[in-house]
Amino acid sequence: MGNNIDVVVVGGGYAGVMAANRLAGRAGVTVTVINPRPVFVPRLRLHQLVGGTHEAVTDFETVLADGVRLVVAAAERIDATARRVILADGDSIGYDYLIYAIGSTDAAPVVPGAAEFAYPLATLESARRLRSVLDDTPVSAAVTVVGGGPTGIETAAELAEQGRPVTLVCGAELLPYLHAKARRTGRKYLTDLGVTIVAGPEAVVTAVTPHAVQLADGRTVDSRVTIWTAGFGVPDLAARSGLRTDAAGRLLTDETLTSVDDERILAAGDCSAPSGVPFRMSAYAAGCLGAHAADTLTARLTGDRPEPIDLSLAAMCLSFGRRAGIFQISRKDDTALPLYFPGRAGKKLKEFACRSSVAHLVTEASKPGSHHWPKDGKHRPTLLAAAHDEVAAPVV
Q: What is the structure's pLDDT at 380?
A: 86
**What is the predicted pLDDT for the residue at 32?**
98
For 192-245, what is each residue's pLDDT tens digit?
Answer: 999 999 999 999 999 999 999 999 999 999 999 999 999 889 999 999 999 999
- pLDDT band of 391, cuts 50, 70, 90: low
pLDDT band at 2 (very low <50, low <70, confident <90, very high): very low
270 close to 251: Cβ distance less than 8 angstroms:
no
CATH 3.50.50.60 residue ranges of the chain are 114-228
Return the CATH superfamily for domain 114-228. FAD/NAD(P)-binding domain (3.50.50.60)
Residue 394 above 60 pLDDT?
no
Strand partners of residue 98: 8, 265
Structure confidence at residue 78 (pLDDT): 98
273-323 residue pLDDT tens: 999 999 999 999 999 999 999 999 999 999 999 999 999 888 999 999 999
Architecture of domain 5-104+234-387: 3-Layer(bba) Sandwich (3.50)
8 Å CB contact between 351 and 365: no
Which residues 6+ apart lie within 8 Å of 365 measured at CB?
Answer: 21, 24, 63, 64, 65, 66
Strands 336-341 and 325-330: antiparallel
The whole-model pTM stands at: 0.94
Residue 116 to residue 204: CA distance in whole angstroms: 18
Do residues 229 and 242 lie in contact, with contact meaning Cβ atoms separated by under 8 Å? no
At 173, is the pLDDT very low, low, confident or very high (cuts 50, 70, 90)? confident
Look at the alpha carbons of 173, 179, 184, 187 in this order and tell me if their dihedral is positive or negative. Answer: negative
CA angle, corner 22, sides to 246 and 248, nearest 5? 10
Q: Which of 16, 42, 17, 19 is nearest to 101 (CA)?
A: 16
Mean pLDDT of 245-260: 97
Q: Alpha-carbon distance 351 to 42, whole Å?
A: 12
Tens-place pLDDT, residues 22-54: 999 899 999 999 999 999 999 999 999 999 999
* Residue from 10, 75, 78, 11 nearest 241 by CA: 78
Residue closest to 356 by CA, chosen among 373, 339, 368: 373
**Predicted confidence band of residue 390 (pLDDT cuts 50, 70, 90):** low
Tell me the per-residue pLDDT of 86-112, one tens digit each, with 9 for 90 and over: 999 999 999 999 999 999 998 888 999
pLDDT for res 386: 81
Q: What is the pLDDT of residues 359-389, one digit of tens each?
A: 999 999 999 999 999 888 888 888 888 877 6
Distance CA 363, CA 59 (A): 15
Within the chain, which residue ranges are assigned CATH 3.50.50.100?
Answer: 5-104+234-387
- At 375 the pLDDT is 86
- What's the mean pLDDT when you consider all of the chain? 94
Task: Check residue 43 and report its DSSP letter.
Answer: G
SS (H, E, C) 371-386: CCCCCCCCHHHHHHHH
Using the predicted structure, report yes or no on whether residue 1 has a pLDDT greater than 80.
no
pLDDT, one tens digit per residue, over 338-366 is 999 999 999 999 999 999 999 999 999 99
